Amino acid sequence: MYQGRNNRPNLPFTKKKPNEHDMVFGIRPVQEALRSGKELDKLFVEKALKSPVVDEIVSLAREQNVYIQYVPEEKLNRLTRKAHQGIVAFVSIVNYAKIENIVMDIFANGQEPLILVLDGVTDVRNFGAISRSAECAGAHAILIPVKGSAQVNSDALKTSAGALNYIPICKSDDLYKSVRYLKDSGLTVVACTEKGKEKIYDTPLKGPLCLVVGSEETGISNAVMSLADYTSYIPLLGKVESLNVSVASGVCLFETLRQRNI
């Protein structure tokens, strides 16, 4: 029997008083933030900046799956007027969970996992809207890649109507391996794509399930698509050839509920 949101693992997800401008800047402050285990979403490093301390910061960030981007000094100056010393980091508003722990807890509680994977969804408001639909549909977690994903910031929280307070977000530095893990754990992988072979309404969506959606520009990556047990599309009757990714995600999530007779 499928069980929804009231049976998710009891974990803290969103931190108090999120602020999209909640930044750590300066070499030593960012270094200490990483050493202390503070969760960071993104690290901006000035392109020309080089030193042993900077090398340590970058190494720590990589170990903690923080997205790193090398940028010109002008971009950092636009982010803050204060002395950033060539480094600015964004503090995460969520406590990221490990997908392996989530899945193990779900099975241990006698539930059937419903995991939503977002492959390359970079628009913050789309991410927030998808999170809202996923939470309302009782999804157990959302899995996103470290690189090439929307920043989980206060705009995302606002667009999600607070859903990010309740649904775990998991980051992966290798989305293929993470989806492979879900498949090997017994989840059926359904790729939701306009290039699908069967209608979403004809796809079996009961049992442990991993739904994958991709960006509107590039779709689901070939590597992740290769893991799909089913490739499914939403039939459209109008002249416009595709749906917004947040709308498409909602359709697929609630078709899952319909089939599970919720």
Among residues 48, 71, 91, the one where a domain terminates is: 91
Query: Taking 80 as the threshold, does the pLDDT of residue 97 lie above it?
Result: yes
Among residues 64, 91, 118, the one where a domain terminates is: 91
Residue whose entry in the numeric block shows the structure tokens 């059926």? 188
Q: What is the pTM of this model?
A: 0.82
**Cα dihedral 245→221→181→132 (10° resolution):** -10
Q: What is the DSSP letter of 262?
A: -
Query: Taking 70 as the threshold, does the pLDDT of residue 216 lie above it?
Result: yes
The predicted pLDDT at position 218 comes to: 87
Residues 216 and 124 in one domain: yes
pLDDT, greater one: 119 or 9:
119
Neighbours of 65 (CB within 10 A): 15
Tens of pLDDT, residues 19-55: 435 789 899 999 998 998 888 888 999 998 999 999 9
Weakest mean pLDDT among 7-16, 72-81, 135-144, 233-242: 7-16
pLDDT, greater one: 259 or 2:
259
By the 10 Å C-beta count (0-12 exposed, 13-18 middle, 19+ buried), 109 is classed as exposed
Asked whether residue 6 is domain-assigned, the answer is no
Asked whether residue 2 is domain-assigned, the answer is no
The predicted pLDDT at position 3 comes to: 42
The predicted pLDDT at position 156 comes to: 87
Assess contact for 172 and 144: CB atoms under 8 A. Answer: yes
Tens of pLDDT, residues 69-91: 999 999 999 888 888 999 999 88
Task: State the residue range of the domain holding 63.
Answer: 23-91
Weakest mean pLDDT among 18-32, 56-70, 106-120, 210-224: 18-32
Query: Half-sphere exposure of residue 19, counting CA atoms within 13 Å on the CB side?
Result: 5
By the 10 Å C-beta count (0-12 exposed, 13-18 middle, 19+ buried), 239 is classed as exposed
Among residues 91, 114, 129, the one where a domain terminates is: 91
The predicted pLDDT at position 11 comes to: 46
The predicted pLDDT at position 262 comes to: 63
CATH number, domain with residue 70 = 3.30.1330.30
Domain count across the chain: 2
Residues 75 and 114 in one domain: no
Over residues 170-178, the mean pLDDT reads: 95
Residues 149 and 132 in one domain: yes
94 confidence band (pLDDT: 50, 70, 90)? confident
The average confidence (pLDDT) of the chain is: 89
Residues 136 and 50 in one domain: no
CATH number, domain with residue 167 = 3.40.1280.10
